[in-house]
Amino acid sequence: MTTAKQPTEIKDLPTPKGHLLLGHLPEFHKTANKHQVLERWVEECGELYRIHFAGMKLIVSANPQLNHKVLKLRPEKFRRLSKMAEIIEEMGVLSVFNAEGETWRRHRIPIARALNARRIRTFHPVLRAKTGSILKKLSDRAATGEKVAVQEEFMLFTIDVTTSIAFGYEMDMINQQQDEFQDHLKTIFPMINERISAPLPVWRVFKQEKDRKLETSLKVIEGIVHRFINEARERIKKQPELRENPTNLLESLLVDKEAHNFSDKDIYSNVFTMLLAGEDTTSNSISWAVFYLAQHPDLVRKIREEAIAVYNGEDVAPSQEHLSRLVYTHAVVQEALRIKPTSPQLYLESNEEVVLENLRIPKNTRIILQNKVAQTEAQYFTRPHEFLPERWLESECPVHQNHSPDLVKTFGAGPRFCPGKYLAINEMLILLSALCKQFDFRLAVDPQEVNEQFEFTMYPENLWIEFTPVGNDVPSAV
C-alpha cells in the first residue's frame, strides 16, 4: 500500500539569514532593487524559501511550475497582494488591475476586448504618427552628435501613445509641450511606487505636503477624465458609426454592451489604470532592447534589412499588416522581454488553503513569484545571459538544447495575464524597426555602468545612446 507524501509546511522551507526580530525587513527595505535582494536569497536558499518582515510571513518562489499554477488559480484561490490593491483603491481607483472576484471579471471582459488584437489594428495610425514624431526628434539629436537618455525619450513616446489610445487626447510630450494633465500624472506615479514600498501607511495618520499634493493631482486628473467621458458620449451620439469602430478605449468602453453597467467612476478607474500600466512597462522594455542592440550592430542591420524589405520606401511601418511581417524584429522583442522582464516579480496572496507542488499554502499567505529567475537560467534557456534573438526563430535557433518559451512570464499568465500585451508588442515592433532602419547606434557608456533599477518596474539606469543616421546603402548582415 502506498501512502501519500506529506506536503511540506512553510516552516520547513529554508530561510536566508535575517534580523532576530525584524527578520528580512531591514535588508529588503533599504534598497529600491528588491528583486536583486530576492535573487541573492535564491542563491543562498534555493528556488523556494520563506522570509518574514517583523513577523509577517511570506513565501518566495522562483519555481516556474509552482508560479504557473498560482497564476492560473486566480481569481478564486489567489489574488493580488491586498496592500497593493488597497493603496490604489484609496486613491479612488477600482479597476481591472486591483479588483478581485466577480468585480474583476466584470471589468476584465470589456478591457480585454478593448485591447484585443483586432481593436489594436485601429490604433495603428496613432503608433505611426508618434513613431514619426520621435524619429524626427532623434534625427535632430543625431545631427548634433548629442547623446540621448533614451529611457526618458521612450517614456514620452509611450505616454503620448497611451493617452491618445486611452481617450483620444493629443499630449505631444515627445516635443515637450507643457501640459497640466502630464504635470499631475508626474506627481501621482512616483507616489504610488513610494506607498507600495512603504513599510507603514504613515499617510493615513499624518498627511505631509506630498500627500496633499497627491490628493490635488488625483482630483484634477479625475475631473479631466470625466470631461473626456462626457465629450466621448456626445461624439458617439453624433457619429453612430463609432459604435462599430470606436477610435479609443474610452469610446470602446462606452459602446461595449458588457460594460453597460459600468459607472463613470468605473470608466475613469480603468482609463487611469491604462496610463499607469501601459507607460513605463513598455518604454522600459523598448529601452532594454536598445541597450542590447546598441552592443550588437549586426542585429541592428538585420532589423534594418527586414524593415527595408517589408516597407521599403516608408520610414515607419505603414500598417498593422506590415508589422506582422517583421519576423526577425519580433524575435528581438521576445528576447528583450525574456532577458529583462520589467516586472521581475509579482506579489500575490492566497484566498484559501491550497497544496501546490507538494507545498501547503495556508489561507492569507503572501507569496512573491520571482519569474525572472527561470527566464535567465541555463536549464531553461541555453546561454541564458546572452542576447540571442535567433533562439526565437525555429529554423535558426543556435541554442536549441534548452528553450522553454512557456516559462516566460513577462506579461504574467493565466486569467489575469496582461491585456495590454498586443499593444505593447506593437509599440516595441514599430519603434525598434523604425529606429534601426534610420540609425546606427552605440552605447555612450560602458555596459557595466547601465544598471537594473526598480521603481514600480525595472528599467536600465544610466542608458545613454548615440545615434548616427544611416545612408541608403545597407551593408549586408552577417
Amino acid at position 86, single letter: E
> Which of 450, 19, 418, 25 has its CA nearest to residue 197?
25
Edge-to-edge strand order for the sheet containing 148-149?
148-149, 464-469, 439-443
Task: Name, in order, each residue with C-beta under 8 angstroms of 49's C-beta and a sequence gap of 6 or more.
Answer: 13, 14, 15, 16, 41, 42, 59, 60
454 makes contact with ligand HEM (CB under 6 A): no
- Residue 460 as a binder of ligand HEM (CB under 6 A): the answer is no
**Residue 45, marked binder:** no
Considering beta carbons, is residue 242 or 408 the nearer one to ligand HEM?
A: 408
Alpha-carbon span 67 to 417, nearest angstrom: 13
Stretch that binds ligand HEM, among 23-31, 279-287, 390-398, 438-446 (CB under 6 A): 279-287
Q: Is 164 in the site for ligand HEM (CB under 6 A)?
A: no
Residues that bind ligand HEM (rule: CB under 6 A) add up to a total of: 28
Q: By C-beta, is 78 or 203 nearer to ligand HEM?
A: 78
Contact characters 81-100, ligand HEM, x per CB under 6 A:
---------------xx---
User: Is 274 one of the binding residues for ligand HEM (CB under 6 A)?
Assistant: yes
Give yes or no for residue 417 binding ligand HEM (CB under 6 A).
yes
When binding is defined by CB under 6 A, the residue of 419, 429, 435, 459 that contacts ligand HEM is: 419
- For 443, the enclosing helix (H) or strand (E) is strand 439-443
**Helix, strand, coil percent values for the chain (each to nearest 5):** 55, 15, 35
Quickly tell me which residue has 506590415 as its cell. Answer: 322
Closer residue to ligand HEM in complex, CB, 343/370: 343
159 is a contact residue toward ligand HEM (CB under 6 A): no
168 binding ligand HEM? (CB under 6 A): no
- The answer to the question of residue 420 lying near ligand HEM (CB under 6 A) is yes
Place of cell 491585456: 419
- Closest to 375 (Cα-Cα) out of 420, 418, 417, 345: 345
Asked if omega into 75 is within 30° of 0 (cis), the reply is yes
139 forms bridges with which residues in the sheet? none
Closer Cβ to ligand HEM, 25 or 368, answer by number: 368
**Smallest separation (angstroms) from ligand HEM to the CB of 75:** 9
Closer to ligand HEM by CB, 273 or 334: give it. Answer: 273
Determine whether 273 is exposed, middle or buried from the number of CB atoms within 10 Å of its CB (0-12, 13-18, 19+): buried
- Using CB under 6 A as the binding rule, whether residue 73 contacts ligand HEM is answered as no
Positions in the binding site for ligand HEM (CB under 6 A): 71, 96-97, 108, 111, 115, 162, 273-274, 277-278, 281-282, 285, 342-343, 346, 410-413, 416-420, 423-424
